[in-house]
Amino acid sequence: MSAATAVAKSDITALGIPGSDTNTHYTTGITAGATGTTSNSATTNGNTYIKIKDDSTHRGQIKITGSGATTVTSDANGVITISSTDNNTVYTHPSHTAKSSGLYKITVDSLGHVSAATAVAKADITGLGIPGSDTNYYHTRDYDTGLKISTGTGVSDMYVPVGTTNSLGVVK
């Protein structure tokens, strides 16, 4: 470098840089009211907006509107009110007859509510193919005669004598 040139303020401002301190502080806020303004205001349904502002500049807004029996309004303080006169949306749970603890066949309506209950009878169980009487088989040891195999009814009792070395097949 053979020579140095001093930089003047005009050289900086010629580049587009401000020559003095600028306000870089912005006050951002949200208001409610009529379109295009930066302050809160009273509105009627269909004219209520949530608005965003920086300092005093309106930056954007979102319209909120009720429909049918529902209205959206705001007051001069920016309080938004959503109200409805629709009384048809109140849910009422259907009434029912209380049942004591037990095993029941139930009926369910289209909304998933139990609408009827009938006690389960033995015929309902046997109708599923489950035997209706005792199905236990008893295997006991008779010390005098050997192994006794019994169905419990005595009809197909069979005795295997003590000391027998033959194996048993299927007992029918």
Each residue's pLDDT tens digit in the chain (172 positions)? 677 788 888 888 888 888 887 777 778 889 999 998 888 999 999 999 999 988 778 888 999 998 888 899 999 999 999 998 877 777 788 888 888 999 999 999 888 888 899 999 999 999 998 888 877 655 555 545 555 555 555 555 555 555 555 554 445 4
Most distant CA pair in the chain, distance:
132
**pLDDT score, position 48:** 94
Q: What pLDDT does residue 36 have?
A: 80
Check residue 93 and give its pLDDT.
Answer: 83
pLDDT of 124 reads 92
Label residues 133-170 b or e (16+ Cβ within 10 Å = b).
eeeeeeeeeeeeeeeeebeeeeeeeeeeeeeeeeeeee
Asked if 45 and 72 touch (Cβ cutoff 8 Å), the reply is: yes
Block residue for tokens 């209520």: 48
pLDDT for 149? 53
What residues does each domain of the chain span?
28-84, 94-133, 134-164
